[in-house]
Structure 1
Amino acid sequence: MIERSFGLKVEGAFTIDAERERVWDMLMTPETLAGCIPGCESFEPVDEDTYNIAMRVGVAAVRGNYTGSVTIADKQHRESYRMVVQGRGRGGSVRGEGVLTLSDINGGTQVSVVGDAQVTGVVARVGQRLMGNASRMLMNQFFNCLKSKIEG
């Protein structure tokens, strides 16, 4: 049986009422990432920029336990970085890459995200639309958490 897969585009822009340096510092802090990644159960360093992650996701057909890795690459201090995420669970696997870009906006910082992911397995059968909605919801949860940690 051929495993089904599809590509998924991920985009978003989030405004945080704080200076770019503060937002950058929080995005580079493992404790912040672990605390804001929805369903994160463990976030263990492998090296300075790579972490093993275990998470429990409860969104639609993506529901279940997943393990994988997060790598932060191509860092341009206070400007941008590339995040590579790989994960696998009973429902399938995902491999994604995204670029996060920070820019000044109205006295705060805008974080723009552009990326794509390849999804396989049972998760892929639910279709791109449902997966797109799930990925947007998870991204919104992450950035709302980050915003609350920074803005207080």
Structure 2
Amino acid sequence: MKMSDSKVINAGPATVFAAMLDRDVLAGCVPGCTEMSGSAGEGFTATVVQKVGPVKATFKGEVELSDIVENEGLTLTGAGKGGAAGFAKGGANVRLEADGEQTILHYEVEAKVGGKLAQLGSRIVDGFAKKMADQFFTAFQDAVGAPEEGEEDSAEDAPKRGWFRRLRS
């Protein structure tokens, strides 16, 4: 399964790039992530709990960063095993494009699954993979970018939105 999309982030490329290397940002953006350790240089290990159709599994996996070009982009590659549920592996090529005071984050994602997950059928698995990628990059967009001018955060969103950018200020 392959897909691509882009997100506009209300922060400069240096801030967005730093967030892509930050374990706490990544852990907060991966849907179902219960634990993450490691570093950008050595790679990350993570535990993620997800339900795909009728199959619920705890995946333990590793993510490596490569092709790192400061403030321009990188490649994330990961693989995880979910016991009897099977495995998932894939990657994302991320490219940053400066646009005034904003950054356009372009991403191309490829995912593969095996085991019980693969038996669910490509329609369910592809829909799930698309949903996971969208949730990750939307959460990343919210964690890093400030609200657009004239846009107000609800009381619930205010503490979460742009937290990484505020931390770096």
- The alignment's TM-score, normalised by the length of structure 1, stands at 0.86
Partner of 1:60 in structure 2? 53
Alignment-derived partner of residue 117 in structure 1: 111
Q: Decide whether aligned partners of structure 1 residues 38 and 44 sit closer, same or farther in structure 2, where only a CA change above 3 A counts.
A: same
**Could you tell me which of 38, 41, 53 is aligned with 1:45?**
38
Q: Distance in 1 between matches of 2:7 and 2:42?
A: 23
Q: After the TM superposition, which residues 122-141 of structure 1 pair with which residues of structure 2 at under 5 Å, given as runs?
A: 122-141=116-135
- 1:49–1:73 Cα contact (<8 Å) kept: no
* Distance of aligned partners of 1:33 and 1:62 in 2 relative to their CA distance in 1, 3 Å threshold: farther
Q: CA deviation at 1:107?
A: 3.6
Q: How many residues align?
A: 145
Change in 2 beyond 3 A, CA 1:47/1:24:
closer
Deviation at 1:49?
3.5
Aligned twin of 1:30 = 23
Larger Rg: 2
With a CA cutoff of 8 Å and minimum separation of 6, indicate the structure with the bigger relative contact order: 1
Unaligned residue ranges in structure 1 (runs of 5+): 1-7
Q: Which runs of 5+ in 2 are unaligned?
A: 147-161, 163-169
Larger strand proportion of the pair: 1
C-alpha contact (below 8 Å) 2:22/2:40 kept by paired residues: no
Aligned counterpart, 2:10: 17
The corresponding residue for 1:108 is 102
Q: Residue 78 of structure 1 aligns to a residue in which SS?
A: coil
Q: 1:105 to 1:39 in 2, by over 3 A?
A: same
Cα offset, 1:66, TM superposition = 0.5
Shift of 1:46: 6.7
| Residue deviations 1:21-40 (CA, integer Å, cap 9, x gap) | 11111111111001111111
Moved more, 125-134 or 16-25: 125-134
Q: Is the 8 Å Cα contact of residues 52 and 117 (structure 2) preserved in structure 1?
A: no
1:105 and 1:128 map into 2 onto residues whose CA distance is: 36
User: 1:97 Cα deviation (Å)?
Assistant: 2.2
